[in-house]
Amino acid sequence: MSPERLITLYGPGLLGGSLALAIQEQFPETKLRLWARRAEAEKGIRARGIDAEFFTDPTAAASGASLIILCTPVESMAALAQQIAMADLPADCLITDVGSVKGQVVSELEPILGKHFIGSHPMAGSEKTGIEVARANLFVNAACLLTPRAGADAARLRHFWETLGCRVLEMSPEEHDVKVARISHLPHMMAAITTLAALRSDPSAVSCVAGGFRDSTRIASGDPSLWTGIALANRAALTAQLREASAALTELLEILDKPDEAALRRLLAEAKALRDSVPA
């Protein structure tokens, strides 16, 4: 018997919608609630066959929930947490989020939600957004990073994500933000930079596009507002990684200027060895 009697999801986009579909499959006994800012969102939820109670009042949506998951943009989470904190929450109520940044989110939400809150970051998504592209298997084989405060017991939250198919890792919010700057936020910005450098001064070059360009720049199609929020919320770690990229690019340009064939082969071989270390 799962401890999750009633789960409330805030924000029915790609992640919230996928969570709803996955919870319906994996926790068929659990009651589900979905909150959205706008009443019109209910239509999209019903169109995807999600059988959840629908709310636009954030406090009412939280009342009595055993598990609450914030799936809204990171910059709106603190205001939402204030509304949730006013609800009648059971003593065992667990609150988490799916934000791509943890330092800022945890430091904003812990003072409001106290011991109820543990940060999560399931590393699953798409360059597309909205409940239309949500899918129940989005979390299967995804890494999910939890950032419990010192002494907190994340076992129940870990079990929840593992049931959805995630590989769960625990780390501090600070370590999370540096790792994710490396693995997610940096590649996003670099995909945008590559797209700009390739096409800004000659958009007609798209006629020659092949699989390499397609894959390496896919995530540059992500939502600009969403990624602006993420980049600003993780600005220090992201900037450090972008400076590493800038230094590596300068190194490559110096090698090409000479040109130093052996050094170029070494640099590309180093990159290949690191890339080949990624599990298949």
Q: Does 187 bind a second copy (CB under 8 A)?
A: yes
Q: Does 186 bind a second copy (CB under 8 A)?
A: yes
Q: Does 199 bind a second copy (CB under 8 A)?
A: yes
CB 142: neighbour CB atoms within 10 A? 18
Between 32 and 146, name the residue whose CB sits nearer to a second copy: 146
Angle (nearest 5°) at CA 229 between 226 and 232:
145
**Contacts with a second copy in 243-272 (CB under 8 A)?**
243-250, 252-253, 256-257, 259, 261, 264-265, 267-272
Between 93 and 138, name the residue whose CB sits nearer to a second copy: 138
Amino acid at 267: L
Measured CA to CA, the distance from residue 189 to residue 227 in angstroms comes to: 9
Give how many residues touch a second copy by CB under 8 A: 90
**Among the listed residues 1, 29, 40, 200, the single contact to a second copy using CB under 8 A:** 200
**Contacts with a second copy in 90-149 (CB under 8 A)?**
123-126, 142-143, 145
Q: Does 227 bind a second copy (CB under 8 A)?
A: yes
Q: Does 191 bind a second copy (CB under 8 A)?
A: yes
**DSSP H or E run through 267:** helix 261-276
DSSP, res 148: P
- How far apart, in Å, do the first and last CA atoms of the chain sit? 34
Do the strands 167-170 and 31-35 form a parallel or antiparallel pair, or are they unpaired?
unpaired
Between 29 and 202, name the residue whose CB sits nearer to a second copy: 202
Question: Which of these segments, 12-20, 37-45, 62-70, 175-183, binds a second copy (CB under 8 A)?
Answer: 175-183
Q: Rounded to the nearest whole angstrom, what is the least distance from the CB of residue 170 to a second copy in the complex?
A: 12
Please name the residue ranges forming H helices in 48-185. 58-62, 77-85, 103-113, 155-163, 173-180
